[in-house]
A and B are shown apart, each in its own frame.
Chain A
Amino acid sequence: MVSETILSAKEKKPLLEWTPIYSMWLREIIRFFNMKSRVISSIIQPFLFLGLMAIPFSNLIPPEAQGMMSQMFGGLSFFGFLAPGIVGIGLLTTGIMGGVTVIWDKEFGFLKEVMVAPVRRISLMIGRSLGGMTIAVFQALLTIGVAALFGIWYDFQIQGIAGVGLALVFIILTFATFIGAGITLGGMFEETEGFMSIVMLLQMPMLFLSGAFVPIDRLSGVPVLYQLQFINPLTYGIDGIRAALTGAPPFLPLWVDFTVILAFALVFLILGARAFNRMQLS
């Protein structure tokens, strides 16, 4: 078998094929807006998470204990602590679920159509990931906006535009990690059912052991669970997003968060690209 890369080098193609990347991106966006239910749910979701989870949770804490508790949350209110975590959770779920579209495309034969075009598969994957990312970033910004609105009453303040900018870097890297993971997983399954059951299995621990709900150091002394937090990419993503948005001290130095999540993103994007490249037709 002759490998694709050798051939493409010989047949001379640009390093980045802009038009195909753009059209894969455009397709994801059009698909998103063509499915009204997806648009509506992505708008309502931040309200649900913040309204039904963050607000009730933050009411667990009696007013007289606020001061003591806020020390635990790095000077934040519980609501202010939870909101960046919810942004991170959104990135995890939409990213990994991006892999399911790969399976749909296999099932519906759409993959054949794009694979028969004279385009590198890596371009297809980049375009699709960027499409998912655009939607995810839009959703994350919406969540931050809604959180800031509720934050008027529940004490959540954004540390200026620079903070949002830095948070955006972490948001993009976190999403890149999970879309890469999703595509890698999607490449391994032929049908949605198998993929979904594995995703459920992986998502739960990643969600709860990420510092989204409980500060990372609260688990120190709990064996296994404490350590597991550090192999979870989401931990670094959320730590970074939270510090950038609120100005609260991060659990790890920000440059560590950044380096680790960047490494995770690169590894999973490469794995995803490989999975995409290897995909054979049955």
Chain B
Amino acid sequence: MKAISVHDLTKVFGSTVAVDHISFDTEEGEIFGLIGLNGAGKTTTILMLTTLLNPTSGTATVCGYDILKEKDSIRRSIGVVFEEQAVDIYLTGRQNLDFSVRMYNVPAKERRERITNALEAIGLADFADVKVKDYSGGMLRRLEIARAMLTNPKVLFLDEPTIGVDVQTRRYLWDYLRRVNKELGMTIFISTSYLEEADYLCNRVALIDEGKLIATGTPEELKASIGKNLVSIKVATGINADFVKLLQGLDYVEKIEERDGSLELSLKNGSIGIPDIVRLARRNGFTISSISSHNPSLNDVLLHYTGKKAEG
């Protein structure tokens, strides 16, 4: 059984199509990332999968349950960490967790145990009895994750879990999620516009843009799909059509794009690319003012498929 299975899921708000016929599967026990820029439709997708929003059309199952017909079965099987803060700041950390887990009819003794364990696992044990309004941003996030874990979910949903969180906490959370995924075999579904995060954490990702699913695969597959090596060239005299034609003649150049006054090349084999290109330019009287190469990242994947740059 797939942990999550999505077919033609669509959500229309008024005249805007927030999510546009997306389909994908998430395997049990994997960390799956829904990646894309802000406003791409990630949050809307998560709200639909977590039964908080009904789709306009299409279907999806979570843990085998239908998101429309078996809402409560899904609610019993998942944990959710929302993008915006969703705790009561006038209660302490422990009170917040206690309140949450009561909703799931857990006996008192087990409730206390679970809360203590969850707080300890995420490093909040010392702040359990402090009111949440005195928490830092990172502590808030950790508390929310602890809360989502209390119900021993089969699938954990996290919407932009490390947005507005300092580098240290971010690292901590990544390690925590990896550990949980590995030790408990928990399926983790994460949405993020921070693509390094997806690259670091996710077994597979789906790239979404303007509500449409653009590409699905492992981060490595997606990166490989846009070439083994990326070279960016600036020509002193500006971009020249003859020079572009010259580059197009090279058999290891897969794709050439102009962007912000420089040429972006996808190469099959990078190691011989740069010296070769420099030689070629010099021989034909073009002056290269800068040339650099790097291995593609998910940011390049986003740029390649959508023409958009990731923020930050």
Contacts and interface: CB of A to CB of B under 8 A. Distances in A.
Chain B binds chain A: yes
Interface of A: 1-2, 4, 7-8, 10-11, 13, 19-20, 22-23, 26-27, 30-31, 34-35, 108-110, 112-119, 280-281
B86 interface: yes
Given A11-B72, A117-B75, A19 B105 contact: yes
A114 B82 contact: no
A192 B71 CA distance: 30
Contacts of A115: 52
Contact of B87 (A7, A113, A119, A280): A113
A113 B89 contact: no
Q: Is the interface of A mostly helix, strand, loop or mixed?
A: helix
A119 B91 contact: no
Interface in B92-116: 95, 98-100, 102-105
Contacts of A7: 69-72
A110 B90 CA distance: 12
Given A1-B54, A34-B90, A23 B102 contact: yes
B255 interface: no
Contacts of B100: 113, 117
A182 to B, nearest CB: 19
A116 B72 contact: no
A1 B67 CA distance: 12
B102 A31 contact: no
B303 to A, nearest CB: 31
Contacts of A11: 70-73
Given A11-B70, A19-B102, A27-B99, A118 B88 contact: no
12 contacts: A19-B102, A27-B99, A31-B90, A109-B85, A112-B52, A112-B80, A113-B82, A117-B103, A118-B72, A118-B103, A118-B104, A281-B47
Contacts of A8: 72
A116 B90 contact: no
Contacts of B54: 1-2
B38 interface: no
Contacts of B89: 108
